[in-house]
Chains A and B, each alone.
Chain A
Amino acid sequence: MRYYVLTRLLIAIPTLILLLTSIFFIMHVLPGDPVTIMYGDKYPTKYVDQIRHNLGLDRPILDQYVSYITDLSKGNMGISMVYQIPVSLKISYAVPTTVELAILSLLFSSLIALPLGIIAAVKRDGIFDHVSRILMLYIHSNPGFWVALLFQIIFGLILGWFPITGRSPPDFNLQHITGLYVLDSILTLNLTALLQSLKYLALPVVTIAITAIPTLSRLTRASMLNVLGEDYIVTAKAKGLPENVVIYKHALRNSLLPVITSIGAQFTMLLGGTVITERIFSLPGLGSLLMDSLMARDFPAIQGVVAVYAIVVVIMNTIIDVIYASSDPRIKY
Chain B
Amino acid sequence: MSLLQVANLKTYFYTPFGVVKAVDGVSFSVKRGEALGLAGESGCGKTTIAYSIMRLIPNPGRIVEGEILFNGVDLSKLNDEELRQVRWKELSMVFQGAMASFDPLFKIGDQISEAILYHEKVGKAEAMDRTKNLLELVGIDSERANNYPWELSGGMRQRSMIAMALACNPKLIIADEPTTALDVIVSAQIMELIKSLREKLDLTMLLITHDISVIAQTCDELAVMYAGKLVEKASVDIIFKNAYHPYTSALIKAFPNIRGPKQELLGIPGNPLDLMNPPEGCRFAPRCPFSQERCITNEPVLTEVESDHFVACHFWKEILDGVR
Q: Roughly how many angstroms separate A238 CA and B86 CA in the complex, as a whole number?
A: 10
Q: Chain A nearest CB: distance from B308 CB in Å?
A: 31
Q: Which segment, of B94-102, B126-134, B207-215, B287-295, faces chain A?
A: B94-102
**Is the beta-carbon distance between B86 and A254 smaller than 8 angstroms?**
no
**Is the beta-carbon distance between A230 and B100 smaller than 8 angstroms?**
yes
Q: Chain A nearest CB: distance from B22 CB in Å?
A: 17
**Is the beta-carbon distance between B118 and A231 smaller than 8 angstroms?**
no
Interface size on A, residues (CB 8 A): 20
Known: A238-B54, A240-B118, A329-B148. Is A250-B84 also a contact (CB below 8 A)? no
Residues 83-119 of B, flagged 1 when their CB comes within 8 A of A and 0 if not, give: 1111111001101010011111110000000110011
12 contacts between A and B (CB under 8 A): A230-B100, A231-B97, A231-B101, A234-B56, A235-B102, A238-B88, A238-B95, A239-B87, A239-B88, A239-B164, A240-B85, A242-B84
Instruction: Report B-chain residues with C-beta under 8 Å of the C-beta of A243.
Output: 80
Known: A239-B115, A240-B119, A241-B114. Is A232-B93 also a contact (CB below 8 A)? no
**Is the beta-carbon distance between A328 and B86 smaller than 8 angstroms?**
no
Q: Which of A238, A245, A253, A329 contacts B87 (CB 8 A)?
A: A238
Q: Roughly how many angstroms separate A232 CA and B92 CA in the complex, as a whole number?
A: 14
Instruction: Report B-chain residues with C-beta under 8 Å of the C-beta of A232.
Output: 100-104
Is residue A2 within 8 Å, beta carbon to beta carbon, of the partner chain? no
Is residue A237 within 8 Å, beta carbon to beta carbon, of the partner chain? yes
Complex interface residues of chain A between 178 and 226 (CB less than 8 A to chain B) = none
Of all chain A residues, which has the CB nearest B103? A232
Is residue A46 within 8 Å, beta carbon to beta carbon, of the partner chain? no
Instruction: Report A-chain residues with C-beta under 8 Å of the C-beta of B119.
Output: 240
Is residue A330 within 8 Å, beta carbon to beta carbon, of the partner chain? yes
Is residue B316 within 8 Å, beta carbon to beta carbon, of the partner chain? no
Instruction: Report B-chain residues with C-beta under 8 Å of the C-beta of A231.
Output: 95, 97, 100-101
Of all chain B residues, which has the CB nearest A236? B103
Q: Chain A nearest CB: distance from B219 CB in Å?
A: 22
Is residue B150 within 8 Å, beta carbon to beta carbon, of the partner chain? yes
Residues 64-91 of B, flagged 1 when their CB comes within 8 A of A and 0 if not, give: 0000000000000000100111111100
| Number of A-B pairs, beta carbon distance below 8 Å | 67
Q: Roughly how many angstroms separate A239 CA and B56 CA in the complex, as a whole number?
A: 11
**Is the beta-carbon distance between A250 and B103 smaller than 8 angstroms?**
yes
A interface: dominant SS: helix
Residues 317-332 of A, flagged 1 when their CB comes within 8 A of B and 0 if not, give: 0000000000011100
Q: Roughly how many angstroms separate A231 CA and B103 CA in the complex, as a whole number?
A: 9
Instruction: Report B-chain residues with C-beta under 8 Å of the C-beta of A245.
Output: 118
Instruction: Report B-chain residues with C-beta under 8 Å of the C-beta of A239.
Output: 87-88, 92, 114-115, 118, 164
**Is the beta-carbon distance between A240 and B100 smaller than 8 angstroms?**
no
Interface size on B, residues (CB 8 A): 29
Of all chain A residues, which has the CB nearest B102? A232
Q: Roughly how many angstroms separate A109 CA and B213 CA in the complex, as a whole number?
A: 58
Q: Which of B80, B95, B105 contacts A234 (CB 8 A)?
A: B95
Instruction: Report B-chain residues with C-beta under 8 Å of the C-beta of A236.
Output: 103
Known: A238-B87, A239-B114, A245-B118. Is A254-B92 also a contact (CB below 8 A)? no
**Is the beta-carbon distance between A240 and B103 smaller than 8 angstroms?**
no
Instruction: Report A-chain residues with C-beta under 8 Å of the C-beta of B83.
Output: 240
Q: Roughly how many angstroms separate A104 CA and B88 CA in the complex, as a whole number?
A: 45
- Known pairs A231-B95, A237-B87, A250-B106; list 9 more (Cβ under 8 Å): A230-B100, A231-B100, A234-B95, A239-B88, A240-B89, A240-B115, A240-B119, A250-B103, A254-B105
Q: Roughly how many angstroms separate A241 CA and B164 CA in the complex, as a whole number?
A: 13
Known: A234-B56, A234-B95, A235-B95. Is A330-B150 also a contact (CB below 8 A)? yes
Q: Roughly how many angstroms separate A253 CA and B114 CA in the complex, as a whole number?
A: 16
Q: Roughly how many angstroms separate A242 CA and B83 CA in the complex, as a whole number?
A: 10
Q: Chain A nearest CB: distance from B305 CB in Å?
A: 36
Q: Chain B nearest CB: distance from A270 CB in Å?
A: 28
Q: Roughly how many angstroms separate A329 CA and B147 CA in the complex, as a whole number?
A: 11
Of all chain B residues, which has the CB nearest A124? B59
Residues 299-333 of A, flagged 1 when their CB comes within 8 A of B and 0 if not, give: 00000000000000000000000000000111000
Complex interface residues of chain A between 253 and 276 (CB less than 8 A to chain B) = 253-254
**Is the beta-carbon distance between A240 and B56 smaller than 8 angstroms?**
no
Known: A240-B84, A330-B150. Is A234-B118 also a contact (CB below 8 A)? no
Of all chain B residues, which has the CB nearest A254? B105
Instruction: Report B-chain residues with C-beta under 8 Å of the C-beta of A330.
Output: 104, 148, 150
Quick one: which of B80, B83, B86, B104 has the most chain A CB within 10 A? B104
Known: A231-B95, A245-B118, A330-B150. Is A238-B56 also a contact (CB below 8 A)? yes
**Is the beta-carbon distance between B87 and A240 smaller than 8 angstroms?**
yes
Quick one: which of B58, B106, B119 has the most chain A CB within 10 A? B106
Instruction: Report B-chain residues with C-beta under 8 Å of the C-beta of A254.
Output: 103-105
Instruction: Report B-chain residues with C-beta under 8 Å of the C-beta of A230.
Output: 100
Q: Chain A nearest CB: distance from B39 CB in Å?
A: 22
**Is the beta-carbon distance between A238 and B85 smaller than 8 angstroms?**
no
Complex interface residues of chain A between 58 and 115 (CB less than 8 A to chain B) = none
Of all chain A residues, which has the CB nearest B119? A240
Instruction: Report A-chain residues with C-beta under 8 Å of the C-beta of B97.
Output: 231
Q: Chain B nearest CB: distance from A242 CB in Å?
A: 6
Q: Roughly how many angstroms separate A238 CA and B58 CA in the complex, as a whole number?
A: 12
Of all chain A residues, which has the CB nearest B149? A232
